Amino acid sequence: MQFSKPQKFVARVSDKYCVSDNERYLYLKFELINPDRICFVAGQYVSLKINEEGERRSYSIVSTPDDNHGFHLLIETTEAGKGSEYLQKIKIGEKVEVLAPLGRFAISENTENKLLFVATGSGIVPIWSMINDLLFNKKETRQMRLHWGMESEADLFFVDNLERLAESHPNFVFDIVLSKPSEEWALCSGHVQDCLTRDFLSVNSGLRGWEGYVCGRPERVIEISAKLEELGMKSENIIHEKFT
């Protein structure tokens, strides 16, 4: 895998809106000014300068590499988080200083393994870029599956998009898992690991022949990776990104 050397960009905020009912997740679009093109790999991230003291925060890119005039971010806002406060206050038209592209969380090349994506919370962001890049740009035909863990229905976003992806690409299926669902929730509940066990423990080959891409908070990534190995996935086939 070839990764472009990081460089500094100046970008302008071109759009901004919340995507979840509880307004916890914020979507931002950035248009590049100088340089006006970026070359990145699905799964990589950017580093934003958030104040005059030079502090930075890193965010995965949710858009796909074919959109090289800019990039989109989707962030989980947190109380007292400097990055969250900066992006919540930023206005459309304002400029930001960006260092990009960064990171090596990317799809392995030259393998025939089936692809399993496991995300918790905003860990869906780089995985969203990967899945869309594979299906639309690379015309991937291998079997692909997503397990995405969230807390409640109010946190959810992209559900309609996921349904359309599954309808138009027979090789892609997804499961949403809620740890604190309402009584009306009829799908998988608990932790992502519970639903992985449900789906793969009874399969003769388990997860042999699969490779996994895992993203979320460090403790969840460790737990999920251990579960994937328990279900038969080779450790060298587990690629992960830990969000802090």
Instruction: Report the CATH number that the domain containing residue 44 is assigned in CATH.
Output: 2.40.30.10
Average pLDDT, integer, range 53-62: 97
Beta pairing, strands 45-49 & 95-102: antiparallel
CA-based torsion, 122, 32, 165, 87: positive or negative:
positive
For residues 121 and 227, state if they share a domain: yes
For residues 135 and 223, state if they share a domain: yes
Question: How many Cβ atoms sit within 10 Å of the Cβ of residue 243?
Answer: 21
Range of the domain at 73: 7-102
SS3 state at 137: helix
| Closest C-alpha among 135, 232, 227 to residue 174 | 135
Q: Which residue has the tokens 């509880």?
A: 22
110: confidence class by pLDDT, cuts 50, 70, 90? confident
For residues 78 and 132, state if they share a domain: no
Task: Give domain status of residue 143, yes or no.
Answer: yes
Would you say residue 34 has pLDDT above 80?
A: yes
Q: What is the CA radius of gyration of the chain?
A: 18
Share of the chain above pLDDT 70, in %: 100
Bond from prior residue into 101 cis (ω within 30 degrees of 0): yes
Q: Interior CA angle at 37 toward 70 and 213, to 5°?
A: 60
Mean pLDDT computed over every residue of the chain: 95
pLDDT value of position 104: 96
The model's pLDDT over 168-198, given as tens digits with 9 standing for 90+, comes to 999 999 999 999 999 999 999 999 999 999 9
For the chain, how many structural domains are there in total? 2
Give the whole-angstrom CA distance, residue 46 versus residue 50.
12
For residues 90 and 181, state if they share a domain: no
Amino acid at the residue 218? P
Question: How many Cβ atoms sit within 10 Å of the Cβ of residue 192?
Answer: 25
For residues 76 and 146, state if they share a domain: no
pLDDT value of position 84: 95
Give the whole-angstrom CA distance, residue 119 versus residue 221.
9
Average pLDDT, integer, range 199-204: 80
Task: Give domain status of residue 107, yes or no.
Answer: no
For residues 168 and 222, state if they share a domain: yes
Task: Give domain status of residue 86, yes or no.
Answer: yes
pLDDT value of position 244: 73
The model's pLDDT over 71-89, given as tens digits with 9 standing for 90+, comes to 999 999 998 889 999 999 9
pLDDT-wise least confident of 53-57, 155-159, 195-199: 195-199
pLDDT-wise least confident of 122-126, 200-204, 230-234: 200-204
Average pLDDT, integer, range 9-21: 97
Query: How many helices (H) and strands (E) in the chain?
Result: 5, 11
220: confidence class by pLDDT, cuts 50, 70, 90? very high
Alpha helices in the chain (DSSP H): 82-89, 124-132, 159-168, 192-200, 218-230
From the centroid of its chain, how far is CA 238? 16
The model's pLDDT over 115-133, given as tens digits with 9 standing for 90+, comes to 999 999 999 999 999 999 9
Give the whole-angstrom CA distance, residue 97 versus residue 197.
44
For residues 86 and 140, state if they share a domain: no
For residues 134 and 230, state if they share a domain: yes
For residues 118 and 228, state if they share a domain: yes
DSSP-derived letter for residue 79 is T
Q: Which residue has the tokens 């990104």?
A: 241
pLDDT value of position 190: 93
Average pLDDT, integer, range 4-13: 97
Would you say residue 203 has pLDDT above 90?
A: no
SS3 state at 153: helix
Beta pairing, strands 238-242 & 210-216: parallel
